[in-house]
Amino acid sequence: MIDYESICRKTISVAVEAGHLIKNERAKFRKDAVEKKGLHDFVSYVDRASEELIVKELKGLIPEAGFIAEEGTVAAENKHYRWVIDPLDGTTNFIHGISPFAVSIALMEGEEVVVGVVYEVSLDECFYAWKGGNAYLNGTPIEVSTAPSIHDSLVATGFPYYDFSKTPEYLKFLEYLMRNTHGIRRLGSAATDLAYVAAGRFDAFYEYSLQSYDVAAGSLIVKQAGGHVCDFSGGNNYIFGKEIVACNTMLKEEFTGIVKSHLKEFTKK
C-alpha cells in the first residue's frame, strides 16, 4: 500500500509548479489563443501545457498508475491507481482575466479517492487532504462550517453552459435559495467551490454536468474537513455521476432533502 501523506505532499509540489506556469502565462495571454471544444467550452495552450507538466511529474510518483485527464494527454485505462486531473479548472475565468482558476489533482485507489489537491492560483492557496488525515489550507488544518440551517448558509453553485434541458427546475431551485439563504455565489471553478466548502467559506455547494476531474480532489478535501458529499439523490455516485452536493454535516439532512425535492427530474433513474 502506498503512503498517502507522502504522495499528497509530492502532489502538492506538482500542483504548485503547474499553478506557477499558469500564472506566468496569464500575464501575457491573448484571447486569440483560445480554442473551442464545444458550446461555451474553451481550451488553450495553457491548459495543455499545464496537463503535460502534471502528467510528466506524476508518472514518476506511481509509474503503474493510469490517468483521467481533461485534455486527454494520457488514456484513462483500467488501472488500480488512477490520477484524475483538471490542469486548469476555470478556463473561462482565466481567459477573461478574472479569478478563481485552479489546478485540481486527485488519486483514486480503485473507486476511492485517497489524495486530493486543489491549488487556487490567484491567491496562492493550496487545499489538500489524504485518506486517514485532516484537510489543510497552506499547512493549516481546515474544517467545514457550523451553519445549523439553510437559512444561515451561503450556497455556491455553477450554471450550465451546454446542457440546458433542466433549466426550469434549476431556476426554480435558485429562486428558493435566493429567498431562504444568505445568498448564492457562482465562482466558475467547481474545484475551488468544493475547497471553499471544506474551509468553511461556503456552507453548501451543488452543481450538475460536472466531470470527474472537476470534483474528485475537492470531494475528498470536503470529507476530510468533516463535511458531507453525495449525488443529487443522496447516493455516492458523485465522481462519475455528473452531479454533486457538498455541505457541512449539520446541513446534511436539510440540504440534501431540499435538493431532492426541487430537482426531482435530476434524480430520476
The total number of structural domains that make up the chain:
2
What is the predicted pLDDT for the residue at 75?
A: 57
My answer on whether 162 and 238 are in the same domain is yes
Q: Judge if the upstream peptide bond of residue 160 is cis by omega within 30 degrees of 0.
A: no
CA count, 13 A, side-chain hemisphere, 114: 17
Three-state secondary structure call for residue 28: coil
Q: Is the pLDDT of residue 104 over 80?
A: yes
Rounded average pLDDT over 159-187: 89
Of 141, 161, 186, the one marking the end of a domain is: 141
Of 79, 112, 141, the one marking the end of a domain is: 141
My answer on whether 137 and 154 are in the same domain is no
Asked if 201 and 182 touch (Cβ cutoff 8 Å), the reply is no
Q: Is the pLDDT of residue 128 over 70?
A: yes
CA distances from 186 to 74, 133, 149, 205 (A): 31, 29, 20, 10
My answer on whether 114 and 157 are in the same domain is no
Of 141, 176, 193, the one marking the end of a domain is: 141
My answer on whether 177 and 63 are in the same domain is no
Asked if 54 and 87 touch (Cβ cutoff 8 Å), the reply is yes
The response to whether 214 counts as a known ligand-binding position is yes
How would residue 230 be classed by pLDDT, with cut points 50, 70 and 90?
very high
**DSSP sequence for 176-229:** HHHHHSSEEE--S-HHHHHHHHHTTS-SEEEEES--HHHHHHHHHHHHHTTEEE
Distance, CA of 69 to CA of 55 (rounded, Å): 9
My answer on whether 45 and 121 are in the same domain is yes
My answer on whether 186 and 71 are in the same domain is no
**Which amino acid is residue 8, in one-letter code?**
C
My answer on whether 175 and 91 are in the same domain is no
Look at phi and psi of residue 242 and say left if phi exceeds 0, alpha if psi is from -120 to 50, else beta. left
My answer on whether 171 and 95 are in the same domain is no
What is the predicted pLDDT for the residue at 27?
A: 85
**DSSP sequence for 34-84:** -EEEETTEEE-HHHHHHHHHHHHHHHTT-TT-EEEETT-SS---S-SEEEE
My answer on whether 114 and 185 are in the same domain is no
Q: What is the mean pLDDT of the chain?
A: 90
The response to whether 70 counts as a known ligand-binding position is yes
My answer on whether 256 and 182 are in the same domain is yes
My answer on whether 18 and 136 are in the same domain is yes
Range of the domain at 72: 4-141
Distance, CA of 209 to CA of 86 (rounded, Å): 15
207: domain CATH number is 3.40.190.80
What are 38-74's pLDDT values in tens digits?
Answer: 444 446 788 889 999 999 999 999 999 999 987 665 5
Q: Is the pLDDT of residue 267 over 60?
A: no
CA count, 13 A, side-chain hemisphere, 142: 28
My answer on whether 44 and 100 are in the same domain is yes
The response to whether 86 counts as a known ligand-binding position is yes
67: domain CATH number is 3.30.540.10
